[in-house]
Structure 1
Amino acid sequence: MLAMALVMAGVCNGLLSCSQYSNKPISKAYHNLTAHYNAYVIARDRLKEAETILFKTRQENYNQILPIYLPLDSTVSQPVKAQLDDAIKKASMIAERHQNSKWLDDGFVIIGKARLHKQQLDDAMEVFKYVNTRGTDENDKHQALIGLMRAYVETGDYGNGLNVAEYLRAQPLTKANTRDYYLTKAYLHQKKGEYAVAAAILDATFPMLKKGESTARLHLIAGQLYDVIGQSAKASEHFASVLQSRPTYDQSFYANIYLVQSQGLTSDGKRAAQATNTFNRMLEDRKNADLQDKIYYTMGLVEARRGNYDKAVDYYRKSIQTTTTNTAQIPYTYLELGKLYFEHKNDYVRARMYYDSSLALLPAQAPQFAEVANRKKVLDEYVDYYTTIQTQDSLQRLAQMNPAALDKFLDNVIAQREQQSRTQAALAQQAANRPSNANNALATTSDLQPNERWYLYNPVRLSQGRQEFTQRWGNRPLEDNWRRSTKEASAALAGDNNPLTGANPANAVNPVPAITANPATDGVAGGQGAAARTQRDALYAQIPLTREAMEQSKFRMENAYYGLGKLYKFQLNQPADAISTFEQMLTRFPNSGYKPEVYYLLHLSNEQAGRTSGWKEKLLAEFPNSSYARLAGRSAEGTPSANSEIKAQQVYTDAYAQYKAGNYPESLSQVQSALATFAGSHVEDKLALLRVMLIGRVDGADAYRQALSEFIRDYPASSLVPHVKELQAAADGPTAKRR
């Protein structure tokens, strides 16, 4: 072949007909030969070398469904930048020097693929489009369209990706192009979350694949996809196929894990026992010493899916305890613990701690990161409301004690704190003296589990510590004398029963447990020195002993009840707990300003829980002119008749005439009555806006602003909302006048 190339070069050196723009046979033969061996083969091999390195050095996260194609990342591709650049350079030589070569389209395809790996998606798409429109070889054009489809998927343009896929579906593709088309289309549906379609397309791809690591990986992905959509039998088939495809050790390990997991979910007791025995054998295998955390995690998943939540918790904790150097598993274990306490145990305080720990370690690019962050935010709100209720309730109880008993109780609290400080100092000293036994020294604390990792390596313990510190000391800056008694006390000092002990609220009982301890009988004599008196004065400052302080405490508690009830109703989807919380609120605060809304929410919560109640009738009877009464009435109304629409329009015209004439009270009475009578009519939002304007005239600026806010809340789809927002901005402005 080299001799032939030399001969061709010698011939062409003497002939002008070997120009790259000539279509003569000798010229084309020369440029085909030179382009193939001097450019295309080198570019192809360099691209293949880069792809092999990227595949061999990939980092897989087996806690998630693996992507069919490795994610494009310019940072990850940096180690193969030289190979990719060389591939582009060599392939570009074909376009620069061999325009009449049959390898021109192939060179452009290589350039497009290299651009993809470098995450230069716009450039890659331009190249692929050029080949499709200007190329001469149909197979190369199909290959370019497959690359274009991949580029569309990576940019999230699934619509155009599907359009390309539909065109290719009708084309006569080669076996290699058919394989790549199937893989790319499966990848598209996987990215869209259409797992059943992606798995089915993968099934059609396997007959075209050879055994090996890449095929084993695709079988593992197919098994994961089928597992997610609940087809455990098909999932098991693919996990078994992984073991028959010459997998790596990690692939075979996780295939076995998933296979045993699927078998463990069966109702067949014998197969479930076999799964447990297999897990135990895997734990005893020395080759799995660094993977025990994953084994225990999977055992926890199996028990959780069976409904054995306590056993699942034990296995999850063992997973955390057995983690060595690789901490990638930990955030997912914490996440499962958080989900278990949130969804099955309704222990939101403990769930919040695990979500907090998971979020601290979970990669920001993880698919579930946003969901975890949102749920953690809801749980933060829950803990804030819950702690406020417990704190203020306990402080109000302390305020009712006689001074002597209160002094005695506070002395006991101070003594307990001093004892805790001495114990913690002793443990710290032990840890300093025996650093190799730090785990054992700390394992004597109250809730540290046997063999649990050292405190500072345990995100749950750190989260608990941060929470307890904030409850006891507040959000204090890092500075000298941060603990001095003259610091302003935090409002969130509540534990389960006593706001001054700094107890962990994780033992709380939902929704709002009553205080059972009797602080008047719990105290014992404490220290009487100056330091003790200073601490006692600081504690006294938190107790609402004056009328003003008690009113503020009750106000904070009322708002916390209100917020907690709404959280149960709308965020946690627990109507029974919402009902209980709102009813407790009305018992504690019968004259609450939130009463109309609470009545309405109680009506909705009882409907959601399938209960009958009289809250709607109570709302209509006590607050007939409130916006919540109109909402309740509107939900019970059907579509207004044509006659009702005519009457509603007439009432609106009359009420507006009264408004223009300055008869504001009479007009307001008409509008209030019409809103209750003609709920759901076409002029309802106009009546509501007229009501807002009349309230401004009759009741003043504050009531006017409140009415504007109610209109936006109650009529979000109304065409009048932009105008109302303008009125709201004017009313809130510095030059707002009384209307």
Structure 2
Amino acid sequence: MQGGFFNRYFSGSSVTDRFRPYVLWAIITVWFSGCSQYSQKKLPVAYHNLNARYNAYLIARDRIREVERYKQRTYQENYNQPLPILLPLDSTKLEPVRAQLDDAIKKASLVAERHQNSKWLDNSYILLGTARMYRQDYANAMEVFKYVNTKGEGEDEKHEALIGLMRTYIETGDYTNGLNVAEYLRAQPLNNANTRDYYLTKAYLHQKKMEYAVSAALLDATFPFLKKGVTKARLHLIAGQLYDLIGKSDQAIAHYRQVLKNRPTYEQSFYATIYSIQGGRTSNERFSRMLNDRKNTDLKDKIYYTMGLLEARNERYPKAIEYWKKSIKETTTNTIQIPYTYQEMGKLYFEKLQDFPTAKAYYDSALALLPQQSADYKALADRKVFLDEFVQQQQIIQTEDSLQKLAQMNPAALDRHLEEAIDRKQKQQQALLAKAQEIAAQAANRPATSSDIPADQRWLLYNPILITQGKTEFMQKWGTRQLEDNWRRSQKESSAQLASADSPAQTNTALNATGALGTASAELSASERKSQKDALYATIPFTPEALKQSNQKLEDAYYRLGKLYKFQFNQPDKAIPTFETLLTRYPNTGVKPEVYYLLMVSNDQLNRPSNWKEKLLAEFPTSSYARQVGKTGTSGTHTATGETEAQRVYTEIYDLYKANNLSEALSRAETAMSTLTGSLIEDKMAVLRVILIGKVRGVEPYRQALTEFIRDYPTSSLLPKVREMQVAAEQPTAKRK
């Protein structure tokens, strides 16, 4: 009966056509009412699998792939540094594909919201976590990956989520948790895709930790899981770099050869060749072929840079500098090589030629163009700090010596020299102004971007090399200046170097140092000339007070310069004459005990005989430096009886301190310090002495004593307390207790 009814209905034999759609809708509603996303029946599961896959998962996956293709296409490799195994994440650089990421998040979320019984649920969560990670929303990405690992059903999906979690930990710098995840995954049965991603992610983690040997070994394990192509060629290039970093050149060469066998890009094959050459395995003919190859027109700077490296390695330093200058000159539109070339030139002048002012100039140029996120930036900036101070102290010595010699000149001769110096400087400035106007006029008649304009004739602001050179020359002449009005006024201290006082150039350079010369103009008026001359006269130490200040600057500069030679540049042979000059010119310097000690240590380092130890012990027996010398043969020799005696001496002095008999307590403490060397309470007595110095001698000696304690007792248990005292001592007097 029913079968006949339905047959008649659908054949249209017994029911009018207008009721047919309503009945069909009712049937469909009844059928799908059982397709709940929480049902495990075959029909609902099939329905949700179908919708989850084609209406959400595949779209989200394609959006993620679009983002990854964009990231690979737009990422600019820096071949001057070890390439990152995985491309770094930067949400700002992914802003053009933000819509794709948002759509991926939306579509992946639909599966979780509407298709809980779908087999694509775990995969969609992984896509959601990946999109969050690309957005640098690391907290939510971690939550998603952890959820899949905890609630997911497929083992492969759980492993994939944990690899994503490990990557997220790496991006946040949490290497400890990243390694914990890696250690867990190491014992799991991973499929081929997850094994590949696991090795790559763990290799990236160790690369970030600068554990290059482990990273390279993990990359070696990855290659069997990779197909030939650009990605595999890139990873071989990275493996070669890592092996070069740990000094295994044979393995590095093997990987560079593999680059050429894996269908690389032209850049990859070029740099694989360059890295092989940098290992010293090439000939001049090979360089000539590379320079003459038209495909290398934009890469000549890198070729010359490599030629310079090889010359420097063979100690042909002038030739190395010549090639590096050619590298800079051959730079076209891509200026990424320039800071690394400047860095190598600065390194050569610093480490090999020991020309520190020139090294500083090249380091300045390198830092001006080097990206702050570069691995070399911090180390270079730290070294530059010492070079800046070195050049500053040298310039103080030269400037103050020259100004003191000016003060001793005959007034008439001095006035004549100043007039001549002003005239010379005026002519130089006018010549520079005329040259600048000539270049500007030529640039105005031609397109600024025209490729046929010679490099030295381009408008300055279009040429990054000239900009860097200009910055360097400015800092060499004027030092580091804040952006402010009247920065050249005569009260400003200069960093310019001065010539000898007997030459006319001396006065001219002194004018530069003091900022006494103004800007170029056609002709100086009488008032302008008088103003410049008065500004210079104001800097010359004619009065006893001005001479005293000048000498104090010189004394401090010699002291600081000697310590830079000794500690930062490891040049005791130059530290010794610097300290000796300090003692000769300023025999009553307040740093005499320390200078004696440093002279003793420097001579010992050079195996030279000297009497500085005897002078230190004879003239300053209670100083911390004398105690340092005394420790050499006595540390650890105190017996139980000696410790008892040391404790008795300490108690007596402490009782004097409590009784407010401070001067006597300090005198006895300083006498006792040499006898307590090596005892268990030596540092305790030293702290009591520091406190007594503060109460008897005042703030500055107290601060100096605190600094000496920190230096002399770096392992003392009392060090935290002394550091607190030092911080308090640096506060304004009103705030100190």
* TM-score (ref. length: structure 1): 0.85
Aligned length: 685
Matched, 1:186 2:203: yes
Aligned to 1:445: none
Matched, 1:157 2:174: yes
2:277 and 2:306 in contact (8 A); partners too = no
Deviates more, 1:636-645 or 1:224-233: 636-645
Question: Given residue 494 of structure 1, which amino acid in structure 2 is its aligned partner?
Answer: Q
Q: Encode CA deviations 1:653-711: one digit per residue, 9 max, x unaligned.
A: 22223444555454334322221011132212222233234445654666455545544
Matched, 1:222 2:225: no
Residues 610, 209 of structure 1: CA spacing in aligned structure 2 closer, same or farther, 3 A cutoff?
farther
Aligned to 2:366: 358
CA distance in 1, matches of 2:641, 2:419: 75
1:321 and 1:452 in contact (8 A); partners too = no
Deviates more, 1:170-179 or 1:34-43: 34-43
Residue 93 of structure 1: CA displacement? 2.3
Aligned to 1:501: 508
CA distance in 1, matches of 2:457, 2:198: 50
Q: Encode CA deviations 1:607-651: one digit per residue, 9 max, x unaligned.
A: 344444332221111111122222332344321333322221111
Matched, 1:97 2:114: yes
Q: Encode CA deviations 1:390-445: one digit per residue, 9 max, x unaligned.
A: 1111222233333344344334423322332332233234324433899xxxxxxx
Residue 217 of structure 1: CA displacement? 1.1
| Superposition map of 1:4-403 within 5 A | 14=31, 16-262=33-279, 265-266=280-281, 272-273=282-283, 276-403=284-411
Equivalent position to 2:565, from 549, 564, 568: 568
1:321 and 1:451 in contact (8 A); partners too = no
Aligned to 1:423: 431
Deviates more, 1:593-602 or 1:684-693: 684-693
Question: Given residue 288 of structure 2, which amino acid in structure 1 is its aligned partner?
Answer: N
Equivalent position to 1:579, from 576, 594, 599: 576
Aligned to 1:517: none
Aligned to 1:644: 642
Matched, 1:593 2:590: yes
Equivalent position SS for 1:497: coil
CA distance in 2, matches of 1:476, 1:84: 42
Residues 625, 358 of structure 1: CA spacing in aligned structure 2 closer, same or farther, 3 A cutoff?
same
Aligned to 1:687: 685
Residues 196, 707 of structure 1: CA spacing in aligned structure 2 closer, same or farther, 3 A cutoff?
closer
Deviates more, 1:301-310 or 1:54-63: 301-310
1:392 and 1:557 in contact (8 A); partners too = yes
CA distance in 2, matches of 1:694, 1:136: 72
Residues 291, 488 of structure 1: CA spacing in aligned structure 2 closer, same or farther, 3 A cutoff?
same
Q: Encode CA deviations 1:584-613: one digit per residue, 9 max, x unaligned.
A: 211221121110111122223333444443
2:662 and 2:696 in contact (8 A); partners too = yes
2:478 and 2:494 in contact (8 A); partners too = no
CA distance in 2, matches of 1:153, 1:332: 27
2:417 and 2:507 in contact (8 A); partners too = no
1:494 and 1:500 in contact (8 A); partners too = no
Aligned to 1:465: 473
CA distance in 1, matches of 2:47, 2:569: 74
CA distance in 2, matches of 1:335, 1:32: 59
1:283 and 1:289 in contact (8 A); partners too = yes
Question: Given residue 292 of structure 1, which amino acid in structure 2 is its aligned partner?
Answer: K
CA distance in 1, matches of 2:511, 2:137: 52
Q: Encode CA deviations 1:65-99: one digit per residue, 9 max, x unaligned.
A: 11111111111222222222222222222222222
Equivalent position to 2:622, from 616, 622, 625: 625
Root-mean-square deviation over aligned CA pairs:
3.2
Residues 36, 534 of structure 1: CA spacing in aligned structure 2 closer, same or farther, 3 A cutoff?
closer
Question: Given residue 318 of structure 2, which amino acid in structure 1 is its aligned partner?
Answer: D
Equivalent position SS for 1:573: coil
Equivalent position SS for 2:508: coil
Equivalent position SS for 1:349: helix
Residue 200 of structure 1: CA displacement? 1.2
CA distance in 2, matches of 1:683, 1:312: 57
Deviates more, 1:16-25 or 1:293-302: 16-25
CA distance in 2, matches of 1:490, 1:660: 48
CA distance in 1, matches of 2:698, 2:469: 53
CA distance in 2, matches of 1:87, 1:204: 32
CA distance in 2, matches of 1:194, 1:28: 48
Equivalent position SS for 1:500: helix
The share of aligned pairs that are identical, in percent, is 57
1:474 and 1:489 in contact (8 A); partners too = no
CA distance in 2, matches of 1:187, 1:38: 35
Residues 628, 454 of structure 1: CA spacing in aligned structure 2 closer, same or farther, 3 A cutoff?
farther
Equivalent position SS for 2:507: coil
Equivalent position SS for 2:539: coil
Residue 187 of structure 1: CA displacement? 0.5
Question: Given residue 509 of structure 2, which amino acid in structure 1 is its aligned partner?
Answer: G
Equivalent position to 2:535, from 531, 535, 538: 538
Deviates more, 1:454-463 or 1:313-322: 454-463
Q: Which has the larger radius of gyration?
A: 2
Q: Encode CA deviations 1:495-533: one digit per residue, 9 max, x unaligned.
A: 24355333999xxxxxxxxxxxxxxxxxxxxx9977656
Equivalent position SS for 1:19: coil
Q: Which runs of 5+ in 1 are unaligned?
A: 1-9, 267-271, 439-448, 506-526
Aligned to 1:443: none
Equivalent position SS for 2:652: helix
Equivalent position SS for 2:615: helix
Residues 50, 435 of structure 1: CA spacing in aligned structure 2 closer, same or farther, 3 A cutoff?
closer
Equivalent position SS for 1:419: helix
Deviates more, 1:93-102 or 1:408-417: 408-417
1:596 and 1:628 in contact (8 A); partners too = yes
Aligned to 2:13: none
Residue 59 of structure 1: CA displacement? 1.5
Q: Which runs of 5+ in 2 are unaligned?
A: 1-26, 447-453, 513-523
Residues 207, 549 of structure 1: CA spacing in aligned structure 2 closer, same or farther, 3 A cutoff?
same
CA distance in 2, matches of 1:74, 1:17: 43
Equivalent position to 1:676, from 674, 677, 694: 674
Deviates more, 1:10-19 or 1:353-362: 10-19
Residues 700, 114 of structure 1: CA spacing in aligned structure 2 closer, same or farther, 3 A cutoff?
closer
Residue 328 of structure 1: CA displacement? 1.7
CA distance in 2, matches of 1:241, 1:699: 72
Equivalent position SS for 1:14: helix
* TM-score (ref. length: structure 2): 0.86
Residues 703, 55 of structure 1: CA spacing in aligned structure 2 closer, same or farther, 3 A cutoff?
closer
CA distance in 1, matches of 2:319, 2:459: 23
Deviates more, 1:129-138 or 1:102-111: 102-111
Deviates more, 1:652-661 or 1:584-593: 652-661
